[in-house]
Each structure stands twice: as C-alpha cells, then as structure tokens.
Amino acid sequence: MTNGTMRAARVHQWGTSPTLDEVDVPVAGDGESLVRVEAAAVAHLDRTVVEGNFDVKPGLPYIGGVEGCGVVVESDSFSPGTRVLLRGGGLGVKRDGTWAEYVTVATKHLTEVPDGMSPELGATYFVPVSTAAVALNSVGRLGTWWNEQLSSPDDEIVIVGGAAGVVGSMIAQIALLQGARVMGLVKDGSEVARLAKGVEPIVSDNRKALRELESNRPATILVDTLGGDELATRTSWVRPGGRAVLIGYVAGTTASFDLPNWLLQDVPLLPINMMSRNQEAKNIANDYVSSLVSGELFIDIEEFALGDVGHALELLDKGELRGRAVVDLVRAGS
C-alpha cells in the first residue's frame, strides 16, 4: 500500500476526550498485517484506559480502540479482502488501536469473521457472547440443576441482574435459547421494553416483587452484572444449592455480606475473570455465531462517527447507551 495519511481518534491527555487527527498510515512490520478498519467498538476497557486508571498505559498521544472489524490490506497469512476480527495483542492498550482508518496488528491475533456477519456485529459480538456463554455454561452450569434435582429444563430459572444491558441481554437470550425460564432485573419501567422477548421483568423499585423473590427464592442461577450494595440481597433470591455468578460491578465496586446469613443461604458466589479464559472464550463464542448471523440472537448497536468517540465514551460512562457503541468507518461522514 502507498504510504499516506488517515484519520484517527487520539487521546492526548489522560481523562480527556479523543480528538480527530490526521496521522500517517501505519506500516506493517514482520509478523504483522495492515487492516482497513470498517467498524470499531467503544468498550468499558477503552474508557478505563482513557481515564488513565489502567495499570498498563500506552504512550501519549495514542489511538484507542481495543476491538474492531476490518478488511486485510497486506498480510503474509491472510488474503487481501479477508474480513477479520480485531482484538487482543495489546490493541488500544500497548499499541495503537481501532479508532482509525487503518491499523497494524500481529497476524497471530487476527481471526477471520464468519460469512454473513456485518462489520458492526463483527466488532461487537465477541465480548457479550463469550462472557454470557462462560457465565451460564462453564461457571453457572446451566442445565445441570434439572438433571440432578428437577424434572425438566423448564424448571431451571435464571435471574439476570442488569438484563437490559448488552451483556445482560445476551445472558438472557442464551438462557432462553437453552430452555430455561428467565427473569430480568431492570432499573425502571423504561428498561422493560429493552428486554429480550420471553424475559419476565423485575423492576427494581417494585418492593413487593423483590420481597417475594427473597421469600420464595425461585432462581437456580443468578447471573449478576451489577455488583454494588444490593448484591447480597440478590443472592438471597437463589434457592439452596443454586449458583450466583458475578460478572460486573456497574452499580458499585464493593459489596458486604452478613456472613452467618450468607452461609445459611447455601449459595456460592462465583466470580468470572474473562482475561484468564481467553482461549475458552474464543472456542465458546464460535458456538453462537450462526445464531447471531441468523438473528436468533441479537446485539443492540448504537453507531457513531469517528469524530464522536468522545461523546460515545461520555454516554458509556453515564450508562446512557442503549447498546454497544460502534464507530462506523465505512459510511460517509464517519
């Protein structure tokens, strides 16, 4: 490819919005590929890096973006025109990331995107799908309860804390797909409409409904994306011998338990560290690709122009995104 310039969203100071800059197109080194970016995600890890709160800090200024999807321009392993998933290898953390028209990536970290998958979906599906599948199957052991104690899979009840969020929605969808009954906890009535079809809503300000959950303890699995002060209460919605799986902390980074009552509940609290499950995540995410391409599973996507990355980060920080934020680098005006 002829050297030239490209547009990129770069961070110049920690805690400030990226600016749209004109920079040189990167040159692929040994073992690397040059990829034209079609779509780039704006993720929670991006926000953490931009704020300067991550233990690994790239040199300033840097191009953010830890996930994306694009088309190979130059590579010693992939044919030009191959659409690939962009993630891993330090993208957006140790090296410039996907908030740019072109990016270089260590070829070993590229994965071909399945046929029929759009660039926007290719840039966003991996984290919610792999996290949801690991939470339900590997850690929550969905389907084992009814084999051991119940008469049918219909008796397995999954409660999702934060079911209107992207990961929470995927957890609910996969649980429904695998035959469970699903109840979804949401902040208020405005989030009920965002629940996947078939999910029974639990609104957090309905005190009567919450008391009934604590009294009846219907769940066989709780998968919680919220964390925070009310985590201990939500674990009490799980029947003895069930499982509570924690995958997030958007409602707060600390929680306290009255240990005598928690022990009496007989419900283990199981944390998930997806960074230590990277290979498992790759394997398990592939199991759901056909369902994503067909529309049986869906991810709500909100598109932004490259110059609006800062606005997307702001909405992400406030919890005001309706789905996953995607920078569209294909459409005019991006």
What pLDDT is attached to residue 154?
Answer: 59
What b/e readout covers 174-195, taking b as 16+ CB neighbours within 10 angstroms? bbbbbebbbbbbbbeeebbebb
Residue 147, pLDDT score: 62
Indicate if the pLDDT at residue 79 is higher than 90.
Answer: yes
pLDDT for res 332: 44
Instruction: Find out whether 118 and 277 touch, Cβ atoms under 8 Å.
Output: no
The label of the residue with tokens 């002829």 reads: 2
pLDDT for 292 equals 92
Average pLDDT, the chain: 90
Over residues 68-81, the mean pLDDT reads 95
What lies within 8 Å, CB to CB, of 216 at 6+ separation is none
pTM: 0.86
Instruction: Decide which of 155 and 169 is more confident.
Output: 169
Of the CA atoms within 13 Å of residue 286, those in its CB half-sphere come to: 10
Chain segment 166-177, per-residue pLDDT in tens: 999 999 999 999
Domain spans, the chain: 5-125+299-328, 128-275
Sign for the CA dihedral angle at 91, 96, 100, 106 comes to negative
Q: Which fold has domain 128-275?
A: Rossmann fold (3.40.50)
Over the stretch 92-121, which tens digit does the pLDDT of each residue have?
999 999 999 999 999 999 989 988 899 999
Superfamily for domain range 5-125+299-328: Medium-chain alcohol dehydrogenases, catalytic domain (3.90.180.10)
